[in-house]
Amino acid sequence: MARATTTKVRQPVTDDSIKVRQLSHYQFSWVAGEPAAPGTLTLQLVLDEGAWEEVLTVDADDADVLQDLLRSTPTVHYDVSRRTLMFGVTAVGA
């Protein structure tokens, strides 16, 4: 009889040990700067239904592209340690 093997997972598993999370919600915001100074665009990411949040500062061009991608991609993941948004899931060989 074959013996099942399991992968050893470093314990305990905590919120900080999870590196890739699924994007649940997002919100763009604009924060006013000093008088006559430009404002700042931010993108707030709500991950895993609120288990983690991240706020990114983006420029207007990036915000435009990101908004298009976020609207058109049904599944988005975020790598917390690399601060990387990953759009879509594609099966191998598709």
Tens digit of pLDDT for each residue in 47-59?
Answer: 999 999 999 999 9
H or E element at residue 3: none
- Short-list 34, 36, 31, 75, CA closest to 56: 31
5: DSSP letter: -
pLDDT at 84 (0 to 100) = 94
Q: What is the amino acid identity at position 58?
A: V
CB 58 within 8 Å of CB 65:
no
pLDDT for 6: 72
- Distance, CA of 78 to chain centre: 3
Contact 40, 51 (CB under 8 A): no
